[in-house]
Amino acid sequence: MRRSAATPQYSTQVLAQVRRRRLKRVLLPLLLGIIVAAYTYGALDARTIAEDRNDILPQGVEAVLLGTAFTVASLPVGWSILGRMLIPIPTLLLYLTVFLGKNPPLPFLAAFVLALVYAGALTTLSAYLGDRPDRPRLGSRQ
């Protein structure tokens, strides 16, 4: 297929630079999503009270789902808001069971506040990573 005269010709260096930039934008959220999944799996495995281990899904699946939601929420695309909608409530419930399932368990108020902090931190971090870098920020130099 021949290129038309209106299609611009880019050098291979420019195209390689664009590919590297796109890869970096995807790799960071992917790596952080894997870290969130691993940390969540470790936290779920640390529960010692038998009643808290009666989950609907296996622990590994819960951790992978949270890591996937974090990865999707952290991608710099327009539909990443869907992942951000999924993070707060499941994270709150998941880490609430973690903090209440420790031996000895934390008091409910402390466990609830810590679970809120974890849910807020993951949501805030994913929102920060999901911001598109081409959008100018208030007060930035252009």
For range 123-138, the mean pLDDT:
74
Whether omega before 76 lies within 30 degrees of 0, making that bond cis, reads no
pLDDT digits (tens, 9 = 90+) for 62-93: 999 999 999 999 988 888 888 888 899 999 99
Which region among 17-26, 39-48, 67-76, 119-128 has the lowest average model confidence (pLDDT)? 17-26
pLDDT for the residue numbered 95: 92
> Would the pLDDT of 36 be above 90?
yes
Q: Quick one: pLDDT at residue 119?
A: 95
Band of the pLDDT at 134, cuts 50, 70, 90? low
Residue of higher predicted confidence among 122 and 77: 122
Residue 72 identity (one-letter amino acid): V
- Is the pLDDT at 4 greater than 60? The verdict is no
As a three-state string, the secondary structure of the chain is: CCCCCCCCCCCHHHHHHHHHHHHHHHHHHHHHHHHHHHHHHHHHHCCCCHHHHCCCCCHHHHHHHHHHHHHHHHCCCHHHHHHHHHCHHHHHHHHHHHHHCCCCCCCHHHHHHHHHHHHHHHHHHHHHHHCCCCCCCCCCCC
Give residue limits of the domains in the chain. Answer: 26-130
